[in-house]
Structure 1
Amino acid sequence: MSPNTRKALYLLREDLRTARRRDPAARSDVEVALAYPGVHALWAHRLSHALWQTGLGTPARVLSSLSRMFTGVDIHPGAKIGRRVFIDHATGVVIGQTAQVGNDVVIFHGVTLGGVSMTPGKRHPTICDHVMIGAGAKVLGPITVGSGAKIGANAVVTKDLPCNAVAIGVPARMKERPEPCPDKDLIIDPTTFEDPTLWI
């Protein structure tokens, strides 16, 4: 087995483990592999992003379009998605071409990581590690959301968020969290959120 094949299989299993850890409704790897569109969208994106990086732009966009039809998730093949990302429920998620999503990020349905400009260059947000983005939230423009930040459901974020910030409302208002930045092993626990609007 080639190193690339081993790596692909490892990432596939890691995505299954991530979904089971994040979603208490997930009962088995088989169920997740067959019935979780957020996982399917990530798998399709890994392949379309690899095609995009090798200059096969048209096949990458075709695969991305087919994935959107079957999963309801629209991820541009140019977007950079980290490891152990979980897209819960998935429907209506849009991630633009120059978006960057870090490791251990949780994204709920209806989230948009979009742009506010039609000019070339960096137009979409950078989401650092351990971020949670609530259902329907819009994160717009070439901004940075710091590690451990939490964005409430339906919030509209157009400015940088520092590490561990909590953002809610339209436009999003922010309060600082006193805790230090999370380490790489943090598991987000929804029961610890101070504001109920942050959960679904």
Structure 2
Amino acid sequence: MLQRLREDINSVFARDPAARNFLEVLTNYPGLHALLIHRLSHRLWQHNLKWLARTLSTFSRWLTGIEIHPGAKIGRRFFIDHGMGVVIGETAEVGDDVTLYQGVTLGGTSWNQGKRHPTLEDGVIVGAGAKILGPFSVGTGAKIGSNAVVTKEVPAGATVVGIPGKIVKRDEPDSAEALEVDPARREAIRQKFGFDAYGVSQDMPDPVARSMQAMLDHMHAVDERIERMCQTLRKVDASYRDGQLPELRDEDFAEILDDVDSGCSPAEREGTATSRQREPKPPARGNG
């Protein structure tokens, strides 16, 4: 019991630079108080002392402003920062090393019996005011931005923001080899914005600009692939017609490229500009 308490307190020191000493954390952190009371109420719930468990949970809510249903399953080193307004439903499951900020709701969208609330796997961080609603999983190491509303499964390592929640960063994006684009350019695109528990990063990309950038990447990859196919056909069949395609001039696309750059983060713009300078113009190919 004491070892578990020490572990919980050490997790506060690890994730809150404002924590100064053991006594301060033990006496002045409502997230820790709510967790300790929940461990007791959950044990009572498991022993079918449900009224007593709910009464203890209600007392914890009155004391800390944090409502955790005694039926919820909470893992080790769980940390609630500030905590006011946090609500965790009956069938919610929280893994190890999870962090929640104030105003977070782990709620349900159905009145049916059974699993109604989300499962947060190990290492998940949920920003202030976020709502995760429904019986699905949020993968290991995922991050939910502040005030996001998430109603569907989140893969491991992803970052989700917005209403409704949209994935803006994945742990393992498509490789440069698979997309056949300049590796430096792809690496720059990978450098998106960092997670902010209280708001939105200043470098948040414009979704429309990101979509256009993805389309340009795809067109570039398709162009290179078709060129290789034409070269192979010319080697196989000497009579294969070799024609000229209309020339694509950079100035014709200057305005579009500027719009794309304006919606990207500084790192993305720098990487894209570098790749344009290095990227050779594709040779003319046969039109078949």
Alignment: residue pair count:
181
Shift of 1:198: 2.7
Q: AA paired with 1:122?
A: K
1:97 aligns with 2:94: no
Equivalent position to 1:12, from 5, 14, 18: 5
Aligned equivalent of 1:150: 143
Q: 1:56 aligns with which of 49, 58, 62?
A: 49
Q: CA deviation at 1:10?
A: 1.0
Q: Give the match's secondary structure for 2:103.
A: coil
Identity %: 57
User: In the TM superposition, what are the counterparts of 1:78-97 in structure 2 within 5 Å?
Assistant: 78-97=71-90
1:66 to 59, 68, 74: 59
Structure 2 counterpart of 1:190: none
Gaps of 5+ in 2: 174-190, 199-288
Taking structure 1 as reference, are residues 36 and 194 closer, same or farther at Cα in structure 2, changes over 3 Å only? Answer: farther
How big is the shift at 1:54? Answer: 0.5
Displacement of 1:35 after TM fit? 0.1
Stretches of structure 1 that go unaligned for 5 or more consecutive residues are 1-7, 181-192
Query: Which amino acid is the alignment partner of residue 101 of structure 1?
Result: V
Alignment-derived partner of residue 197 in structure 2? 199
Equivalent residue letter for 1:40 = H
User: Which residues in structure 2 correspond to 1:21-170 (within 5 Å)?
Assistant: 21-170=14-163
Q: For 2:53 and 2:47, how far apart are their aligned partners in 1?
A: 10
Contact 2:71 2:91 in 1 (8 A): yes
Deviation, 1:20, is: 1.0
Higher helix content, 1 or 2? 2
Distance 1:195 1:91 in 2: 27
Shift of 1:9: 1.1
What is the match of residue 5 of structure 1?
none
Q: Helix, strand or coil: the match of 1:174?
A: strand
CA contact (8 A) 2:76 2:95 kept: yes
Greater RCO (CA < 8 Å, at least 6 residues apart) = 1
Q: Distance in 1 between matches of 2:158 and 2:194?
A: 15
Deviation at residue 176 of structure 1 after TM alignment: 3.8
Deviates more, 1:12-21 or 1:35-44: 12-21
Q: After TM superposition, which residue ranges in structure 1, 4 or more long, deviate above 6 angstroms?
A: none
Task: State the distance in 1 between where 2:195 and 2:162 align.
Answer: 9
Q: TM-score, normalised by structure 1?
A: 0.87
8 Å Cα contact 2:149/2:162 also seen in 1: yes
- Residue 126 of structure 1 and its aligned partner are, at CA, apart by 0.3
Q: Which amino acid aligns with 1:28?
A: N
Further displaced range: 47-56 or 171-180:
171-180
CA RMSD of aligned residues (A): 1.5
Identify if the C-alpha distance between structure 1 residues 105 and 194 changes in structure 2 by more than 3 Å, giving closer, same or farther.
Answer: farther
SS in 2 for 1:45: helix
8 A contact 2:143–2:195 mirrored in 1: no
Residue 151 of structure 1 contacts residue 198 of structure 1 at CA under 8 Å; is this kept in 2?
Answer: no
Structure 2 counterpart of 1:86, one-letter code: F
Letter in 1 for 2:90: Q
